[in-house]
Structure 1
Amino acid sequence: MHETLSVLVIDDDVTDRMAIRRSFAKTPLQAKITEAETAQNAKGVLADDSFDCIFLDFRLPDTDGISFIKQLRLEGNFLPIIVLTGQGDEQIAVELMKAGASDYLAKSHLSPENLHSLIRHAINAYRAEQRVRAAQEQLRQTNMLLRQQNQELEAQRQQIERQNLRLLQANQHKAEFLATVSHELRTPLNSILGFSQILKSQTKGSLNDYQTKMVDCIHTNGESLLYLVNDILDMSTIESERLQLTPHFFDLTTLVQEVASEMLWVAEKKGLKVSQMIALENCEVYNDRQRLKQVLVNLLSNAIKFTQTGTVTISVKTLATNSLEIAVQDTGIGIEPEQLSTIFQPFRQADQSIVRHHGGTGLGLAITHSLVSMMQGFITVDSQPNQGSTFRVQIPHTIAG
């Protein structure tokens, strides 16, 4: 210790106070000593100044050492206190330590060496305790802050849960509404398509060219609207988790050829070719034929829609035991890299200008993605702008269920 210590000596005996001063003078310590004769005087001094250590006479005119120490500690003053006693009474020593004294010393044993040792240990212990108290206070404040933050986070979590519940309910209501509307639209649409087909067959009399053109327009637009209604109905059924697969055994090669044949006329109207590449070790698969056909039709129709020249290729191959890959490759407009992450989301298309130019709702790939997931598979896409896209579907040869 090389700093100047501020020491308060509380003793009503001037001789004892002088003895303490002389002992300090003979130690390596530098000390500024302030004196008080009574406990009352000492309290006034402590209120006006700060100290590093207190030397306290056990018996004062207005109190005793134990009572004085207890009062200081109750007031939150934890300065190191060394008590000077007239004689070495072990019982008193125990009571002093219990009250909060740092140490005690019989006046008959007062010496520079003892004083130096006592004050050095007392101040070191006090400063260590101060560091502990500071750390405990910091920890208390940190814990209080954490509790407050936890409470705020819990309130935010509950708010988010309530909002999520409202969103889920709103989404459920939307799905139910769309399903109801779609069902209600199907009946008149089927009637429109049926009657337009009858008119096209001219079973009720001849139609002139203009009338035939108008009937074709009614039928074409009716079919487009029916596809849209079916997509909305499928999406709402999927979102409400009411769509169930009905798997059975069927020939996948036959299904691929069937879909390619049905889509061929659409491709030929645009001057496109449709090719097939089938390399299956076992053509018989266990899946929902209708829904897998829907996946293939969606992918092929998308490829044809966004391809102006070239070829659309559908390929099927066995990857491993109970696993196969269906790929649809086109030479169309492709997709920008930053837009690939959203193409499987409902009502999203890679570019909104596509909606104006090519039409569609943006539901086809979302439905396809959901159906493939229900088949315990996954779908990926590789695409380069102006070079074309390849959609790959991997599904089990035999799905569960």
Structure 2
Amino acid sequence: MEQTLKILVVDDNEVDRMAVRDALTKAGLQMELFEVSNGNDAFSALNTTAYDCVFFNYRLPDQHGLTFIQQLRSSKIKVPSVVLTAQGDEQIAVQLIKAGATDYLSKSKISPEMLVQVLRSAIRIYWAEMQAALVNQQLRESHEQLLRKNQELERQQQQIQIQNFKLLEVSQLKSYFLATMSHELRTPMNAIIGFSQILFRSKFGQLTHQQADMVERILSNGKHLLMLVNEVLDFSKLEAGRLDLKAEIFDVSKVINLAVGEMRSLADAKNLSLLVQTDLQNTLVFNDPVRIKQILINLLSNAIKFTESGEIWVEVKELPASRVTIVVRDTGIGIAPRNFKRIFEAFRQVDQTITRKYPGTGLGLAIIDSLVRMMGGKIFLDSKLGSGSMFKIELPRQITLSTEAADAPDVQLDSDDIFSSAKNPHHSSSQTR
């Protein structure tokens, strides 16, 4: 069913109003037609009733058509409007359209067909304009909303930056505090260890069995505490970027055997077999021997700590591209795959409870990971719960020192260098227990 249209005709000429009325009636439109003779009455009618279209004469007795259109716009009354003009007044009609009228029609061309065509066109144009205005309004609102969100995001970003600066400052203070405290603690700890060792010397008198046992406990706990303090100190230096490698040419097999020798008593105390196999065509490397020993001692300490029975193997082998690998295997409790990454995080242990069975700072593997990265190497982990673990470290034979290490020797190792040992080639392949 066709919609009933409400149409308002504004004209002081009764004959012209009749012509519009007859043409619309003959067109067979479903409509309600309302007529007024001046602009004021038209304005009052439009304020109280919603019309689908307004036909108005551009020359009204109380005001010009331009004034009428401007009054509608200022009052925010939105309705399709068609200007009725006399012959030759098309230029004036164009001005009215620019001011806000929807369309115009010369009175001399009023006919049912023309009037219906102009009416439908005006309504379509009006609704298209309304739709465009609605879309523009939504776009403006969206734009304003985006601006507000951007402002909020900028504010949050500034807050995050401030928090990051604060966290960085706290982290730096923490690192400096740890470094300072660790350094201060090492002095009395070295004294405790030193005096404990002196007490064992026979020239100071023979200790009773009970006294020797107590001094042995002091010495053992002092060394353990010093190791923990050194871990914290190394970690704080690594965090602050103040730990430098002191590289030199050394025999890696000797350093490995030295580290294994230091840890053998701990393995023997738990009846664990500790095996070493070196398979290198050239045992000389350019690296930091102290840090290589530290890495191996940490790995062996963990292997012994988490192994109740069985064996621990240390293997050193050649790799292509002038690299070597150090592997530490054990038959210990193993590590679940979900914890592979976590155990390399600082202060992180699989068992975080205060009643945990295995003590430690949780810094050992974090320090190893950082040192291996500094050396340009990689560390790999393979483990299974209840079946033991395997830590494999791959390192270049010749590490590259940072630019800060200005006093480091300029060493180039190639086929004609000392590493080739051309005049005295040797192959080291041994297994000790």
Structure with more of its chain in helix, by fraction: 1
Distance in 1 separating the partners of 2:204 and 2:215: 13
Task: Give the superposition deviation at 1:355.
Answer: 6.4
Q: Counterpart amino acid of 2:71? A: Q
Counterpart of 1:105 in structure 2 is 105
Counterpart of 1:167 in structure 2 is 167
Helix, strand or coil: the match of 1:170? helix
Task: Give the superposition deviation at 1:280.
Answer: 4.3
Q: Counterpart amino acid of 1:265? A: S
CA contact (8 A) 2:253 2:283 kept: yes
Identity of paired residues, percent? 48
Q: Counterpart amino acid of 2:263? A: M
Counterpart of 1:151 in structure 2 is 151
Task: Give the superposition deviation at 1:28.
Answer: 5.7
Q: How does 1:76-155 map to 2 (within 5 A)?
A: 76-155=76-155
Q: Deviations over 1:187-234 (max 9, x none)?
A: 111111111111112231111111111111110011011001101111
Task: Give the superposition deviation at 1:336.
Answer: 3.0
Q: Deviations over 1:78-110 (max 9, x none)?
A: 432110012232431331122122211110111
Q: Deviations over 1:354-398 (max 9, x none)?
A: 863221111111111222222233333232222222223333343
Distance in 2 separating the partners of 1:286 and 1:264: 26
Task: Give the superposition deviation at 1:177.
Answer: 1.2
* 1:263 counterpart = 2:263: yes
Counterpart of 2:292 in structure 1 is 292
CA 1:193–1:55 in structure 2 vs 1: closer, same or farther (change >3 Å)? same
Counterpart of 1:34 in structure 2 is 34
Distance in 2 separating the partners of 1:130 and 1:249: 84
* 1:239 counterpart = 2:236: no
Helix, strand or coil: the match of 1:314? strand
Q: How does 1:334-345 map to 2 (within 5 A)?
A: 334-345=334-345
Query: Mind listing any 5+ residue stretches in structure 2 that lack a counterpart?
Result: 402-433
Helix, strand or coil: the match of 1:357? coil
- Larger deviation, residues 77-86 vs 213-222: 77-86
CA 1:245–1:2 in structure 2 vs 1: closer, same or farther (change >3 Å)? farther
Helix, strand or coil: the match of 2:91? helix
CA contact (8 A) 1:355 1:361 kept: no
Counterpart of 2:431 in structure 1 is none
* 1:350 counterpart = 2:350: yes
Distance in 1 separating the partners of 2:151 and 2:322: 51
Distance in 2 separating the partners of 1:318 and 1:52: 92
Q: Deviations over 1:153-174 (max 9, x none)?
A: 2211111211121111111111
CA contact (8 A) 1:318 1:325 kept: yes
Q: How many residues align?
A: 401
Task: Give the superposition deviation at 1:327.
Answer: 2.6
Helix, strand or coil: the match of 2:331? coil
Distance in 1 separating the partners of 2:323 and 2:136: 62
CA contact (8 A) 1:88 1:105 kept: no
Helix, strand or coil: the match of 2:246? coil
Distance in 2 separating the partners of 1:272 and 1:196: 28
Task: Give the superposition deviation at 1:301.
Answer: 0.8
CA 1:338–1:83 in structure 2 vs 1: closer, same or farther (change >3 Å)? same
CA 1:308–1:121 in structure 2 vs 1: closer, same or farther (change >3 Å)? same
| TM-score normalized with structure 2 length | 0.86
CA contact (8 A) 1:340 1:350 kept: no
Distance in 2 separating the partners of 1:23 and 1:394: 97
CA contact (8 A) 1:65 1:96 kept: yes
- Larger deviation, residues 335-344 vs 123-132: 335-344
Q: Counterpart amino acid of 1:76? A: K
Task: Give the superposition deviation at 1:304.
Answer: 0.9
CA contact (8 A) 2:55 2:84 kept: yes
Distance in 2 separating the partners of 1:280 and 1:135: 77
Q: How does 1:2-401 map to 2 (within 5 A)?
A: 2-27=2-27, 29-280=29-280, 282-353=282-353, 356-401=356-401
- Larger deviation, residues 221-230 vs 23-32: 23-32
Helix, strand or coil: the match of 1:255? helix
- Larger deviation, residues 87-96 vs 307-316: 87-96
Q: Counterpart amino acid of 1:233? A: L
CA contact (8 A) 1:39 1:68 kept: yes
Q: Counterpart amino acid of 2:148? A: Q
Distance in 2 separating the partners of 1:285 and 1:9: 104
Q: Counterpart amino acid of 2:252? A: L
Helix, strand or coil: the match of 1:179? helix
Task: Give the superposition deviation at 1:121.
Answer: 1.9
CA 1:25–1:303 in structure 2 vs 1: closer, same or farther (change >3 Å)? same
- Larger deviation, residues 289-298 vs 180-189: 289-298
Distance in 2 separating the partners of 1:136 and 1:199: 91
Distance in 2 separating the partners of 1:395 and 1:115: 92
Q: Counterpart amino acid of 2:5? A: L
Helix, strand or coil: the match of 2:344? coil
CA contact (8 A) 1:349 1:355 kept: no
Task: Give the superposition deviation at 1:42.
Answer: 1.6
CA contact (8 A) 1:247 1:288 kept: yes
Task: Give the superposition deviation at 1:116.
Answer: 1.9
Helix, strand or coil: the match of 2:242? coil
CA 1:262–1:113 in structure 2 vs 1: closer, same or farther (change >3 Å)? same
CA contact (8 A) 1:58 1:84 kept: yes
Query: Mind listing any 5+ residue stretches in structure 1 that lack a counterpart?
Result: none
Task: Give the superposition deviation at 1:311.
Answer: 1.3
Q: Counterpart amino acid of 2:265? A: W
CA contact (8 A) 1:11 1:38 kept: yes
CA 1:376–1:117 in structure 2 vs 1: closer, same or farther (change >3 Å)? farther
